[in-house]
Amino acid sequence: MSLDYVKFAPGFEKFMPKEYRDMVEHGPFGKKTTVSQMGSFKEILEEHPMCAGCAMTLFIRLAMISFPNPEDTITVGTAGCGRLAISQAAIPFVYGNYGDQNGVASGLSRGLRLRFGDKPKDVVVMAGDGGTADIGFAQTLHSWIRKEKFTTIMLDNEVYGNTGGQESGMTSQGAVLKMAPLGKKFEKMDMVGMAKVAGCVYVATVVPNNPRRVEAVIKKAVLIAREVGPTYIQAYTSCNIEYAIPTDKVMEDAKNVEDNRYKFSEYISEEAKQYLAERYGYKEFLPKPAAAVTQA
């Protein structure tokens, strides 16, 4: 859990694969990398077995680039498509049994705080809609109610894509899927509302058709989770296989869905705003000058 773990063991440099050497010499560790620099440095994420054109992969790729301190970050995941890519990255990945990723992350986060004290070590949970809202619902909600300080990211593809297309709690009402041929009868779960009620201090919904926005949202969520409280990001990451979206139309679908039912939303508690402004210099959350307040 430091820059040392991404260095070569003495004498082994020439035996390492090219990808590993590129990662050590030109990776994002110890530097500030941004979405606008993509394509000019070696990314944390490597080749992975996810489907061509998968929007979830795009989101994971953007998320990996957006972590404020990748060398001090641990990702936690569970069964589902996402873990196929998240595990192919040069940062530690912990695989929880199905649904217990937020429980695992709770222990991990507390343990890291005990071991490293004030030095921030970020724990980021990335799990699908099934892992977060269906099978892992109890553990997710309880970790929020306990105010565990880590980030939960839901990769919401609105279906069980790995197992043939069953409906999940996050599937939209009326959606017809291979294993839900009559259409889903119930409404999509309001996880954003539940996150707010359960005490998350930062809640955002985002669609990966705006990379800079994804970057901003992830940075804020991870930074706030260091000291203020639990944070939650819900990302629409369509399943182009189960929803039969042609791969070259995935971003068109993302745009339509964002316009119609997945609008960008962001909730930040006052305490979190103050923390971002004072600790990390976020100008938009700085208190307004007295003159501006009077004029308003």
Residue ranges binding other proteins (CB under 8 A)? 18-19, 22, 25-26, 35-48, 50, 52-55, 57-58, 61-62, 64, 209, 211, 247-252
Q: Taking the complex as a whole, how short is the minimal distance between the CB of residue 31 and other proteins, in angstroms?
A: 11
The position carrying tokens 């050497």 is: 21
Please state whether beta strands 73-77 and 122-128 pair in parallel, antiparallel, or not at all (unpaired).
Answer: parallel
Q: Taking the complex as a whole, how short is the minimal distance between the CB of residue 59 and other proteins, in angstroms?
A: 9
Q: Is 39 or 181 the residue whose CB approaches other proteins more closely?
A: 39
Q: Is 58 or 189 the residue whose CB approaches other proteins more closely?
A: 58
Q: Is 125 or 250 the residue whose CB approaches other proteins more closely?
A: 250
Q: Taking the complex as a whole, how short is the minimal distance between the CB of residue 38 and other proteins, in angstroms?
A: 5
188: its two tokens: 């999509």
Q: Is 47 or 284 the residue whose CB approaches other proteins more closely?
A: 47
> Can you spell out the DSSP letters for 145-190?
HTT--SEEEEEE-SSBTTTT-B--TTSPTT--BTTBTT---SPPP-
Q: Taking the complex as a whole, how short is the minimal distance between the CB of residue 9 and other proteins, in angstroms?
A: 21
Radius of gyration of the chain (CA): 19
266: its two tokens: 């962001």
Query: Of 205, 166, 167, 159, which Cα lies nearest the Cα of 186?
Result: 167
